[in-house]
Amino acid sequence: MRADIERRLLQLAVAFTCLVPLSAATLSLWRGPDWLGSGGGSTDLDSHFRYLSGIFLALGIGFATCIPAIERRGPRFRLLAALVVAGGLGRLASLVVVGAPSVGHLAGLAIELGVVPLLTFWHARVARQARS
Query: How distant, in Å, are the alpha carbons of 8, 10, 19, 25, 127 from that of 69?
Result: 10, 11, 19, 25, 10
Per-residue model confidence (pLDDT) at position 42 = 84
pLDDT under 70 in the chain at which residues?
A: 1, 38-40
pLDDT in tens, 67-90: 999 999 999 999 999 999 999 999
What single letter denotes the amino acid at residue 117? P
Domain boundaries, given as residue ranges, for the chain? 3-131
